[in-house]
Amino acid sequence: MFSSVYLDSLMESIYRHLIRQGVDDISIIGSRTTKKIIKFHNNSLSIVKSYDISSLKIYIGYMKRRFVTNINIVDEEKVKQEIDKLLSLAKKFSEIKDYVPLPSGYVDYHEPRGIFNESIFETKHAVDLLKNTIDNTVGKTISRVAGTLEVTGIKKMVKTSGGRFGEFRKSLVKLNMRSFAKNDASYQVNCIGVRFEDIPFDKLPEDIKYWLKYLQSKEKISYGKYNVIMAPLVVANLAGYYSRMASAYYVDAGLSPLKDCIGEEVVSETLNIYDNPILDRSPGAIPFDEEAVPTRKTYIFKEGVMKTYLHNTYTAHKFKTESTGHAGIIVPAPHTVLIDGGRDNLDELIKDLKNGLFITNTWYTRFQNYVTGDFSTLPRDLIFIIRNGDISGYTYNIRISDNIMNIFKNIISMSKEEYWIYWWDTPYISRVPYVSIENVNISCVF
Amino acid sequence: MARLALDRALELDAEYVELRWHTTNNEEYIYKNGALDTHQSFTISGIALRVLVDGVMSFSSTNIITEKNIISMVEDAINNAKASSRLAKRKVSLYENEIFEVKYVVAENKKWVDATPEEKMEILKSADDNVLDKIKGPIKSMRLYILGFRKEEKIVVNSFGTYIQSSIPLVWIKYVITLKNSGKSVQKIGRKGGSGGLEIIDNFKIIDKITETAYEMSQILKRGKPTPTGLMDIIVGSEVAGIIAHECVGHPFEADRILGREAAQAGGSYLSPEDIGKQIGSKEVNVSDDPTIPSSGGYYLYDDEGVKARKKRLILNGKVNEYLHNRETAEIFGVGSNASARAVNYNREPIVRMSNTYFEAGDYSFDELLEEIKEGIYMKGFMEWNIDDKRLNQRYTGLEAYYIRNGEIKYPVLMPVIEITTYQLLSSLDARGRDVEFFMGLCGKGEPHQPIPVWFGGPSLRFRNINIRRRAS
């Protein structure tokens, strides 16, 4: 499993070729990804898919010009031809004003423990787990389920002209299942881990049925401000967008409301949002970035205060600071998004909220203006109405229409339970709790 | 090698085998705030395989193209199908459309490879200079432009006897313009382009369009007033018409969504298989999807299952007329595939997709649309939009938007919001302009994601009695 000898030698050969061409800066990121996806709908298999993808991402700094080439052809001569073609044109590109060399010198990478499990590739076991989960979910309450079970193995390497080399491998298991009751109300579960044991296959059918039991009372609500509990799927979506906006590139490009916010209290003082790609057993683990800078735990917001933008070497130079280990050669980005849990459990959050909404999922988050942070997002699946500290029914056709800064400023509490989340509409692998938020603007269509 | 793979799969009891050699070469010049930021390129090349084994569809892909690896991929796909068959309560079968053996190429009149980097940077510099010229004064700006090129080359063969070889280049400019003044800001993200070479930039007057947008943004910033609210008549421009056509007609007309196949990701549909012929809008609603429009962003002549493309009239005079099908959904519906199967790269399965989706032109001039409105809004362009996963509850927030009084455009208004159900919206359409224009986008669907180039567009449309809201935040 995971032979990548050809990729190692290809990277080495391309590197030597670039050195011979007199290139100033080189970063080569090689990766091999093998993946299987079992996709299902209407309680039946849709398709089984398998992937074996080898790719190279090559950054070249040459005569103060910057080039990035992503190529998945593993034919050495073809890759060299592509590179030579690019170098022959290099002088015709304009110089980059803020050009900066890649970092150099020996560094240690902290490889998180327990992030690779070869057993995930046992197809029969995956099919058994999925079949039991579907069979135990569908029945009197739930008429149909759809989703995917996905297993992935990743081997990633980086080699730079700064004298650095790193490699690691990781496994991922991801289950996404949406369950529909007979009246078409739905509830969605999404789990991600590094081994099958991280996914609570046995527990999920009961959890799904538990939430779908509240279907007796469907109500319309009116336009206005509500106190809201957001489930981890919602939190991961919004925190993902917000953390992306902490990228120095987006701040510079006018695609973020976080300009001039370093040192300012911009989110709730109860809130820590951070990246920790070196966490043991984390599905989002990665020990180095695309410039071979070691990754580390990085607070974006700590106790409400914005601590840093996310930087690669280029943006760090421009902002007169150090790289935070978030290259993205062009666009720095979070590796993972983590929010610390609070003290209460979900039942206590519901009780404390007294009156409001409990939104279990969202999608289609879109911004009117990234500088102001005005956005809307569409809750999907169950939206519960909370009255007197209890769930009293559910609603539909609503939209969160607010400002991303307000949302994170108005968080009042978090559940102590935290969940690893990653699905179709989550920007980054995330570990987040349920959160309670005051005064969320809700619009609706009836 | 394809012959070898087909033979091996058939030997191993596959009922259907399909191979697609698929290469995309992409190049982007990123120009930020008046200077080149980065040049990046992507080459994605490999082979996709689908086999049908006892009613189970199995997909496999690889970019290591050796005889040994291709045979191994075939065997892996067959084994995966057999190992997963316990989950299959329904057998997949495919509609057998007419078989074609065809090669076609979209020509580049001004070839991308023949233009120097200086010439390409000059295109972006020219766009930026024109924008800066239009917004001079106290307004501060941030500008990001991407000049992009994508050349997609494919060979599709299958066990029905199909052989389709194609080469389609695309050129576009994506832009992000942000203007600020006196503590206020406006922002627009857009993309214009089409299939062909660099002549696309001139043919579609893309730089002029971006410049015009920047000018309108500056006027909104200087003169924009809070939007009036309540029930009123509206005219939407081609960009808004296009997003309506794409989101609340195109997507819900995808037969795989109607059947529930995308329910856990991109979602379902408000339509059911029985809804052909159902009246869902006024008689003015005529929406089509047509991949054969020359120079279009979603251009192709044969889909990724080898079926010959044609125009599909999704809604005809307000009635559901035709869904978008691939061979699998066509077989279930008992109709022929209408060539809507597309895959964005070699490592993606072909699924039901739109191409160029639009409201058909009417016979009104823009002035004729305007003159019958006493009080209303002209929403020419938008930024924020979204729609629920059944495609019923949607919202469009205007950016380039204006107040109409007594048949005349009076002044810019700030962020009018249309938040409405599909049935309400489509039932309110009462007139269509002659001025069809298209916009380019990357449509999202599939697991893993398959952002695929499309056009969306239409003429100016007039809707009666629409509830306009202000954006609250």
Q: How far is B363 from chain A (nearest CA, A)?
A: 32
Q: How confident is the model over B42-71, as pLDDT tens digits?
A: 999 999 999 999 999 999 999 988 899 899
3-state SS, B57-85, equals EEEEEECCCCHHHHHHHHHHHHHHHHHHH
Relative orientation angle of helices A5-20 and A76-89, to the nearest 10 degrees: 30
From A373, A426, A364, select the one nearest A402 (Cα to Cα). A373
- The pair phi, psi for residue B428, each rounded to 5°, is -95, -5
Mean pLDDT along residues B358-367: 98
Res B337: pLDDT: 98
Partner-chain contact B64 A54, CB within 8 Å: yes
User: Which chain A residue's Cα is nearest to B389?
Assistant: A380
Of the candidates A74, A180, A406, which has its C-beta nearest B64's C-beta?
A74
Q: Are A10 and A76 in contact (CB under 8 A)?
A: yes
Q: How far is A416 from chain B (nearest CA, A)?
A: 28
Q: How far is A103 from chain B (nearest CA, A)?
A: 19
Partner-chain contact B187 A178, CB within 8 Å: no
B349 at interface of A, judged by CB pairs closer than 8 A: yes
A162 at interface of B, judged by CB pairs closer than 8 A: no
B387 at interface of A, judged by CB pairs closer than 8 A: yes
User: Which chain B residue's Cα is nearest to A224?
Assistant: B472
Partner-chain contact B472 A441, CB within 8 Å: yes
Q: How confident is the model over A331-370, as pLDDT tens digits?
A: 999 999 999 999 999 999 999 999 999 999 999 999 999 9
Using CB atoms and an 8 Å cut-off, which of residues 75-94 of chain A contact chain B?
82, 86, 89, 92-94
A183 at interface of B, judged by CB pairs closer than 8 A: no
User: Which chain B residue's Cα is nearest to A365?
Assistant: B386
Partner-chain contact A65 B142, CB within 8 Å: no
Res A215: pLDDT: 82
Q: How far is A391 from chain B (nearest CA, A)?
A: 23
Q: How confident is the model over A123-160, as pLDDT tens digits?
A: 999 999 999 999 999 999 999 999 999 999 999 999 99
A330 at interface of B, judged by CB pairs closer than 8 A: yes
For A52-94, give the DSSP string.
EEEEEEEEEEETTEEEEEEE----HHHHHHHHHHHHHHGGGSP
Q: How far is A262 from chain B (nearest CA, A)?
A: 19
Beta-bridge mates of residue A60: A26, A67
Q: How confident is the model over B373-390, as pLDDT tens digits?
A: 999 999 999 999 999 999
User: Which chain A residue's Cα is nearest to B177?
Assistant: A254
A367 at interface of B, judged by CB pairs closer than 8 A: yes
B162 at interface of A, judged by CB pairs closer than 8 A: no
User: Which chain B residue's Cα is nearest to A40?
Assistant: B261
Per-residue tens of pLDDT for chain A, all 446 residues? 445 568 889 999 999 999 999 999 999 999 999 999 999 999 999 999 999 999 999 999 999 999 999 998 878 898 999 899 889 988 888 888 889 999 999 999 998 999 999 999 999 999 999 999 999 999 999 999 999 999 999 999 999 999 999 999 999 999 999 999 988 899 999 999 999 999 999 999 999 999 988 887 899 999 999 999 999 999 999 999 999 999 999 999 999 999 999 999 999 999 999 999 999 999 999 999 999 999 999 999 999 999 999 999 999 999 999 999 999 999 999 999 999 999 999 999 999 999 999 999 999 999 999 999 999 999 999 999 999 999 999 999 999 999 999 999 999 999 999 999 999 999 999 999 999 999 999 999 97
From A98, A146, A150, select the one nearest A120 (Cα to Cα). A150
Contact residues, chain A, for B81 at CB < 8 Å: 48
Of the candidates B121, B260, B469, which has its C-beta nearest A42's C-beta?
B260
For A119-172, give the DSSP string.
GGG-HHHHHHHHHHHHHHHSSSSEEEEEEEEEEEEEEEEEEETTS-EEEEEEEE
Partner-chain contact A406 B473, CB within 8 Å: yes
Res A94: pLDDT: 84
Relative orientation angle of helices A204-212 and A123-137, to the nearest 10 degrees: 30
A69 at interface of B, judged by CB pairs closer than 8 A: yes
Q: How confident is the model over A431-445, as pLDDT tens digits?
A: 999 999 999 999 999
Partner-chain contact B41 A70, CB within 8 Å: yes
Q: How confident is the model over B303-354, as pLDDT tens digits?
A: 999 999 999 999 999 999 999 999 999 999 999 999 999 999 999 999 999 9
CA angle B458, B462, B465 (to 5 degrees): 140
The Cα–Cα gap between B225 and B470 comes to 11
Of the candidates A124, A364, A374, which has its C-beta nearest B83's C-beta?
A124
Disruptive mutation site among A40, A47, A145 for chain B (greatest number of B CBs within 10 Å): A47
B230 contacts: CB under 8 Å, gap ≥ 6: B467, B468
Q: Which two tokens stand for residue A48?
A: 């089984």
Of the candidates B37, B187, B448, which has its C-beta nearest A254's C-beta?
B187
Disruptive mutation site among B23, B25, B33, B43 for chain A (greatest number of A CBs within 10 Å): B43
The Cα–Cα gap between B398 and B220 comes to 11
A177 at interface of B, judged by CB pairs closer than 8 A: yes
DSSP strand pairing (B225-226 vs B408-414): parallel
CA angle A40, A42, A45 (to 5 degrees): 30
The rounded Cα B365 to chain-centroid distance in angstroms is 26
Partner-chain contact B87 A40, CB within 8 Å: yes
Of the candidates B118, B142, B259, which has its C-beta nearest A253's C-beta?
B142
Size of interface A-B (CB pairs under 8 A): 257
Mean pLDDT along residues B241-246: 98
Q: Are A351 and A138 in contact (CB under 8 A)?
A: no
Partner-chain contact A424 B77, CB within 8 Å: no
Q: How far is B368 from chain A (nearest CA, A)?
A: 30
The rounded Cα B167 to chain-centroid distance in angstroms is 19
Work out the number of other CB atoms within 10 angstroms of the CB of residue A202.
11
Contact residues, chain A, for B71 at CB < 8 Å: none
Q: Are B322 and B298 in contact (CB under 8 A)?
A: no
Q: How confident is the model over B399-449, as pLDDT tens digits?
A: 999 999 999 999 999 999 999 999 999 999 999 999 999 999 999 999 999
Q: Are A375 and B384 in contact (CB under 8 A)?
A: yes
Using CB atoms and an 8 Å cut-off, which of residues 101-160 of chain B contact chain A?
116-118, 121, 142, 144
Q: How confident is the model over A71-90, as pLDDT tens digits?
A: 988 788 989 998 998 899 88
Partner-chain contact A73 B43, CB within 8 Å: yes
